[in-house]
Copies of this chain bind each other. A is one copy, B any other.
């Protein structure tokens, strides 16, 4: 275990304990000092050496007499060692350990808790399978990388709080999680009460509360908020998750974006480019990358060649090409199959570079080639614009992996946040208009005149922030006018009577306001280079929403069923 954490001298990490030092802090300057260390038995050899580990590092302890015997102490047992710091002989110095220049000569060893045989070894660098790690999470989090992730999470959230509270006068307000159903949106867990047939809903976000706080004069609100969604079928989701929820009165889109730029720049644990971060419109994102959360760590963009396929200005058929370095050569049948799959899924026509001569006229080929550049190969997709771009976006990801494996594309290892703005306000659902963000999002003032006539063309004052292909946050300017809010709810076919408290709040003198929510689990995952959000959550649930430790969810008692007036229907 090499990556022992540097101990900040300013923190008194040993206060309120009976150790004098951690296992990571002793240095030659402590030579001769009497110390008390506590930790896990990491390793022992020759009845003489004992490696003692805690979450701050490892210290080698040795016995100089035969009175202290730790042969029978199982690995991972908890011991307390009183001893004296001593310099290691020069040939015994371990430069890989932060404590590698010293050792502790044991005066007294006390076994505080004996460990049973543990299901996996904490010394191996290769980790056991996730299932086993989850079942014994209390062991798994002893791994230094897990310690590091949990500690990074804590300190990053603390720095965000300091930024918001100390620098900019925000107020953290805790809002309820037991509330009423929010119309529209994700499926919400329900919580039975002892009133027959009456249930709370677990909030999917503090949206209504933060807007009511704006009406209430808490004009700079934030909360590190626990949110709940019953979406266990989607991979890499958790039934409960954390978001940094922010809302400001008397503000606008540019102000919110500027604030988040600065917040991330100052608190993210990895270097970010200087603000302002890049900003593109939803339409640009779709037309260049085929997705509203593009990975821009590599430079592959579409070109719109629709004009070549249409005789007048009104583009009936959309045609986009994805240019890429011609050195890649022919695609293997594996990649061709994948592209075929994507093409069928999206129902568009796709022409691979090697089939261009066959499927396009020579004139058309030359025109496209002159657009993408002479030294480029390209893939062409034709059909409905949205489907063409989506399909080409998915192909783009495949081609990028391929190019990267052949070192034909430069990958920016740095993280570059990207704002997507000008989302549409509505999308067409099965039963009429649906909201793209949520029903409280303000229409773009420039598009206001189209609200009745062409609602699908109306842009929203909504914004998402994306990091290397992951959406890490999103927000909007909110509707503050009660009449407009009621109109939008009607357009969305949402029963406003369920939201009267909210409408009344808007009608009571509610400031214009806007806000955002950052997905903390995802953000920390990126900050820690973790494989999954489960790695930055202390006790995550499995894909299926099950708790690998306790086996929850479980059956409940007959008494509970009676108290909550419910019966199970199998």
Contacts and interface: CB of A to CB of B under 8 A. Distances in A.
Interface stretch (A309-317, A447-455, A499-507, A525-533): A499-507
A192 interface: yes
Contact of A569 (B147, B173, B505, B566): B566
Contacts of A505: 138
* From A139, A179, A200, A560, residue with most partner B Cβ within 10 Å: A200
Given A17-B249, A176-B547, A180-B552, 17 more contacts: A12-B167, A17-B219, A17-B251, A18-B252, A19-B250, A38-B249, A55-B218, A76-B508, A113-B480, A177-B226, A190-B192, A193-B232, A196-B570, A197-B568, A200-B552, A501-B549, A566-B568
A379 to B, nearest CB: 40
Contact of A154 (B173, B189, B191, B545): B173
A511 B113 contact: yes
Given A158-B172, A172-B158, A569-B566, A166 B10 contact: yes
Contacts of A537: 174
A15 B166 CA distance: 13
Nearest to A188: B560
28 contacts: A10-B166, A11-B169, A12-B168, A13-B168, A17-B219, A18-B252, A55-B217, A78-B510, A115-B507, A115-B509, A137-B212, A138-B510, A141-B218, A176-B541, A176-B547, A177-B240, A178-B239, A178-B240, A178-B552, A189-B192, A193-B553, A194-B230, A198-B554, A198-B555, A199-B554, A200-B553, A562-B569, A565-B569
A9 to B, nearest CB: 11
Count copies of this chain in the complex: 2
A537 B506 CA distance: 21
Contacts of A198: 553-555
Interface stretch (A254-262, A341-349, A402-410, A417-425): A254-262
A171 interface: yes
Interface string A195-233: 111111110000001001101111110000010101010
A182 to B, nearest CB: 10
Contact of A538 (B150, B213, B556, B569): B213
A154 to B, nearest CB: 4
A103 interface: no
A443 B186 CA distance: 47
Contact of A511 (B78, B172, B209, B218): B78
* From A172, A213, A240, A251, residue with most partner B Cβ within 10 Å: A172
A140 B216 contact: yes
A137 B173 CA distance: 14
A18 B255 contact: yes
A34 interface: no
B15 A259 contact: yes
A49 interface: no
